């Protein structure tokens, strides 16, 4: 059975980048004893790209983004009653400890993407092992830009390992927005869709092509959901599978309250050790 993702390029929230310019997870929580770090909310947990996709059965770069009304339509069809999802589809931008704004494309994420494309290093980062971590990924516009660049580069024999780590507070955001947007980016970069299109049919053939394309370029996608802190950092950089090469951490509009600053700082410090 196939499913279609609705996406758009041209409405008010579409993204054009110009060259001119976090459900509770099982297991113990080692963070709860850290002074100054809130232990409320969703505990960090790694999610599987295959599971997410199968559950969903320099110039100007235009990036496709799944539309919010399409997410609503899927949830209505699935009769999904998760509090985090209902909060994300309401008129509220955030609901602390339940929904942290990941379905919305925030303005600073577009600013960060514009900054990235203006950097000369963008043309060479794909030539060596690298780990890209986006904290508070949401719709993942900055990562989509870098992913598009990786896919647009000609495949080479024995390519260096590239890791894309996408961390968001809400598992539902990863499942319904973050990973679907990567799939749309892949379809655009490989000419399976065009800016004139409005639908992408999700078929077994497309999913197989997506996974084969990642494998061919040695790109590894790691979605992680949960709150900031040392536990999240340990999932981003597990001792059993250390990230390759240099680590680039992306974050924009992630902190809106002082009490989150300590946990976010711990996550940054632990990830970069």
What pLDDT, on the 0 to 100 scale, is given for residue 249?
Answer: 93
Convert 44-53 to b/e letters by CB count within 10 Å (16 or more is b).
bbbbebeebb
Quote the mean pLDDT of the chain.
Answer: 77
User: CA separation (Å) from 12 to 8, 9, 18, 133?
Assistant: 10, 9, 16, 27
Q: What is the pLDDT of residues 181-232, one digit of tens each?
A: 999 999 989 988 877 776 788 889 999 999 999 999 999 999 999 988 889 9
First-last CA distance in the chain: 44
What pLDDT, on the 0 to 100 scale, is given for residue 98?
Answer: 81
- Identify the burial level of 248 via C-beta atoms within 10 angstroms of its C-beta, where 0-12 means exposed, 13-18 middle and 19 or more buried: middle
Q: What is the pLDDT of residues 65-74, one digit of tens each?
A: 777 767 777 7
Radius of gyration of the chain from its Cα atoms, rounded to whole angstroms: 18
What pLDDT, on the 0 to 100 scale, is given for residue 54?
Answer: 57
Percent of the chain with pLDDT strictly greater than 90: 28
What does pTM read for this prediction?
0.76
In Å, the largest CA–CA distance within the chain is: 52
In the predicted structure, residue 26 carries a pLDDT above the cut 60 = no
- Across residues 130-141, what is the average pLDDT? 93
Report the distance separating Cα 90 and Cα 92, nearest Å. 5
In the predicted structure, residue 29 carries a pLDDT above the cut 90 = no
User: CA separation (Å) from 91 to 71, 140, 254?
Assistant: 15, 21, 19
């Amino acid at each position: 059975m196939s499913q279609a993702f609705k996406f758009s390029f041209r409405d008010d929230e579409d993204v054009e980048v110009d060259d001119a310019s976090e459900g509770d997870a099982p297991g113990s929580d080692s963070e709860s004893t850290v002074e100054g770090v809130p232990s409320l909310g969703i505990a960090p947990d790694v999610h599987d790209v295959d599971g997410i996709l199968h559950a969903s059965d320099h110039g100007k770069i235009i990036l496709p983004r799944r539309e919010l009304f399409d997410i609503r339509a899927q949830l209505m069809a699935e009769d999904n009653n998760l509090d985090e999802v209902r909060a994300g589809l309401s008129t509220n931008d955030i609901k602390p400890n339940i929904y942290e704004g990941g379905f919305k494309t925030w303005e600073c994420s577009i600013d960060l993407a514009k900054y990235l494309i203006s950097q000369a290093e963008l043309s060479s980062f794909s030539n060596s092992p690298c780990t890209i971590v986006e904290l508070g990924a949401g719709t993942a516009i900055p990562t989509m830009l870098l992913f598009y660049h990786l896919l647009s580069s000609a495949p080479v024999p024995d390519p260096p390992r590239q890791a894309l780590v996408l961390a968001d507070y809400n598992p539902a955001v990863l499942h319904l927005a973050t990973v679907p947007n990567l799939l749309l980016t892949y379809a655009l970069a490989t000419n399976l869709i065009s800016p004139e299109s409005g639908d992408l049919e999700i078929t077994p053939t497309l999913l197989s092509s997506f996974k084969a394309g990642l494998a061919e370029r040695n790109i590894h996608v790691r979605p992680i959901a949960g709150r900031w802190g040392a536990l999240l950092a340990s999932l981003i950089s597990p001792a059993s599978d250390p990230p390759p090469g240099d680590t680039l951490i992306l974050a924009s509009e992630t902190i809106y309250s002082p009490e989150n600053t300590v946990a976010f700082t711990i996550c940054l410090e632990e990830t970069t050790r």
